Amino acid sequence: PQALAQCRSFLEESLPKARLVESSSTAAAVKKASKQRGAAAIGTELAAQLYGMEILAKSVEAIPNNYTRFLVIA
């Protein structure tokens, strides 16, 4: 839920028709997305590497100086 909240502006502007699904963690979201064709997730570069996902967009968080960095990967 936190990643979706912190990236809401990007999601609304760039992916207005995307169906948003909450996950227990960004790592869990990336793992789940890696098993579903056409799915994407907000997660870390490490998660993208671990689950063989492609990074589609970087720095999608609403507050740039926020310590947490989010990416869109598919």
Which residue is catalytic, options 10, 26, 44, 68?
68
Return d(Cα 2, Cα 22) in angstroms, integer.
Answer: 9
- Percentages helix, strand, coil for the chain (3-state, rounded to 5) are 35, 15, 50
55-58 β-sheet, strand order: 41-43, 71-73, 55-58
Is 44 a known active-site residue?
A: no
Which residue is catalytic, options 10, 26, 44, 70?
70
Is 70 a known active-site residue?
A: yes
| Active site members | 68, 70
